[in-house]
Amino acid sequence: MLRSQEAASIMPDEALAPREPSIFSKTHAFMAPGAFVPDVIASGLYPYFRAIERNEGTRAIVDSREVIMAGSNNYLGLASDPRVKEAAELAIQQYGTGCTGSRFLNGTLDIHLELEERLATFMDKQACVLFSTGYMTNMGVIQAITSKNDIIFSDKDNHACIVAGTQVSPADTWRFRHNDINHLRRLLEKAGQERPEADKLIVTDGVFSMSGRIARVPELVAVAEEFNAALMLDDAHAVGVIGPGGCGSAAYFDLADKVSLTTGTFSKSFSSLGGFVVGDRDIIEYIRHMASVHIFSASMPPSCVATVLKCLDILQEETWRLERLWEISHYMREGFKSAGFNVWTSQAPIIPVVIGSNMNTAFQFWSDLLEKGIFVNPVVPWRGAVAGGLSIMRTSYMATHTDEDLDHILEAFRHVGRHHGLLGNGAM
Ligand SMILES: Cc1ncc(COP(=O)(O)O)c(C=O)c1O
């Protein structure tokens, strides 16, 4: 046998050098010069992971400059409300900064239970369970409620966390064309013929996060009843936004009692972090005990819970906020349209302005808007965020935007749109 010194002297250097596991080779391709992300960074127009230095609701400080925020989901304008901040601070004094455990064991506070009761009542349902984010809510609910031989019918434009839920579920997923009830019906008929024993769940965003389109809840309810399927709505952009009192997309159509499960997030209207699902008591208790992300992940921090409780109070007391949000949403949609922009299928305070298929134009457009003091979210056809290969400037509004803010945003868009030759030609 060779002694180690002799062995080393006859081995090539590469054989001795620690080799990187091959699984990481894709990361080098991702970051190689000329690849998408390094290319956009090199152009100086990379718009993502931008640091915001201060947030004052409709105003933010970016690169030491004040901008009008038209790219947040702070629909009710409560994220920097002094009453909400005070409630969060008081919760930290009483309960500390974090729960350091899951709801199942040491992470349940009395305010978690209070919030669950408040939300069940608010949504006119028997029961509610909280999750630590909206993403985890949809993942957790779908994973918990579906089993091996079931079929999930999922809208093709559903949010990524619904897709993640279908991926962790042992059930099969059949995707239907976006908002296409006829296609859904055909898939349900097919399931009836080929898999008559399968239990069925239909799942859709209540308001679609990129287009601002409201789901066709009445037709979904009818088809779900006809085929004995459960209907689940992800109301992340609907609770605190649409429906009487902000009770969401089913209430908007006066159909709350016909929908089995409604999920929501606290990261938008409720200016916090966390999520929830409401439904009948047994279903909710089952989810509470069976959703892995609920049992095996730490619960919502106290300040986040107190924030939501305070936002809920304000939503119910200050009804002008929802009225103003809708007034703004109508004003902006009409303003963009009359300037000659294409606002896709928007029906909510999410108003996408279609830029076209050229991503570089989109990044330049975004940068020109920022230069004019307007912060929006550029969404390009990368990683499938928007269907149909479209680039959009996703704009979204707060009840607290002033008329002057809105006119300023429209004027900046008109100016930049004219510069890019986008006005009046449908911007496609
Ligand atoms: C439709 C939809 N569902 C769920 C989520 C996830 O919510 P959260 O930010 O609470 O994880 C989002 C967030 O963007 C969303 O748009």
134 touches ligand 1 (CB under 6 Å): yes
pLDDT for residue 6 is more than 70: no
Question: CA 279 → CA 64, 127, 131, 261, 326, distances in Å?
Answer: 46, 6, 14, 5, 27
**Domains of the chain by residue range:** 41-70+319-419, 82-317
Cα 302 to averaged position of ligand 1 atoms, centre (Å)? 20
Protein residue closest via CA to atom 10 of ligand 1: 134
Read off the pLDDT of each residue in 382-386 and give the average, rounded to a whole number. Answer: 66
pLDDT band, residue 422 (cuts 50/70/90): confident
265 touches ligand 1 (CB under 6 Å): yes
396 touches ligand 1 (CB under 6 Å): no
CA torsion, ordered 12, 18, 19, 23, to nearest 10 deg = 170
> Residue 161 CA: which ligand 1 atom is closest?
4
pLDDT for residue 423 is more than 90: no
Average pLDDT, rounded, for the chain: 94
216 touches ligand 1 (CB under 6 Å): no
> Closest Cα partner for 298 from 97, 91, 89, 98?
98
Residue 336 near residue 409 (C-beta atoms within 8 A) = no
pLDDT for residue 174 is more than 70: yes
Among 241, 267, 394, say which to mutate for ligand 1: greatest number of ligand atoms within 8 Å of CB.
267
Read off the pLDDT of each residue in 83-96 and give the average, rounded to a whole number. Answer: 98
Instruction: Specify the pLDDT at position 344.
Output: 92
Read off the pLDDT of each residue in 336-365 and give the average, rounded to a whole number. Answer: 94
Read off the pLDDT of each residue in 390-417 and give the average, rounded to a whole number. Answer: 97
pLDDT for residue 334 is more than 80: yes
Instruction: Specify the pLDDT at position 384.
Output: 60
Instruction: Specify the pLDDT at position 428.
Output: 42
Q: Percent of the chain beyond pLDDT 70?
A: 94
pLDDT for residue 278 is more than 80: yes
Condensed to tens digits (0 to 9), the pLDDT of residues 180-221 reads: 999 999 999 999 999 999 999 999 999 999 999 999 999 999
- Residue with more model confidence, 328 or 388: 328
pLDDT band, residue 383 (cuts 50/70/90): low
Q: Which CATH architecture has domain 82-317?
A: 3-Layer(aba) Sandwich (3.40)
349 touches ligand 1 (CB under 6 Å): no
Instruction: Specify the pLDDT at position 427.
Output: 44
Instruction: Specify the pLDDT at position 382.
Output: 77
pLDDT for residue 387 is more than 70: no
Question: Class assignment of domain 41-70+319-419?
Answer: alpha beta
Instruction: Specify the pLDDT at position 202.
Output: 98
pLDDT for residue 283 is more than 50: yes
pLDDT for residue 355 is more than 70: yes
Condensed to tens digits (0 to 9), the pLDDT of residues 105-154 reads: 999 999 999 999 999 999 999 999 999 999 999 999 999 999 999 999 99
165 touches ligand 1 (CB under 6 Å): no
pLDDT for residue 400 is more than 70: yes
pLDDT band, residue 10 (cuts 50/70/90): low
Cα 72 to averaged position of ligand 1 atoms, centre (Å)? 12
Instruction: Specify the pLDDT at position 424.
Output: 64
Instruction: Specify the pLDDT at position 2.
Output: 44
Cα 132 to averaged position of ligand 1 atoms, centre (Å)? 12
Read off the pLDDT of each residue in 228-257 and give the average, rounded to a whole number. Answer: 98
Instruction: Specify the pLDDT at position 17.
Output: 77
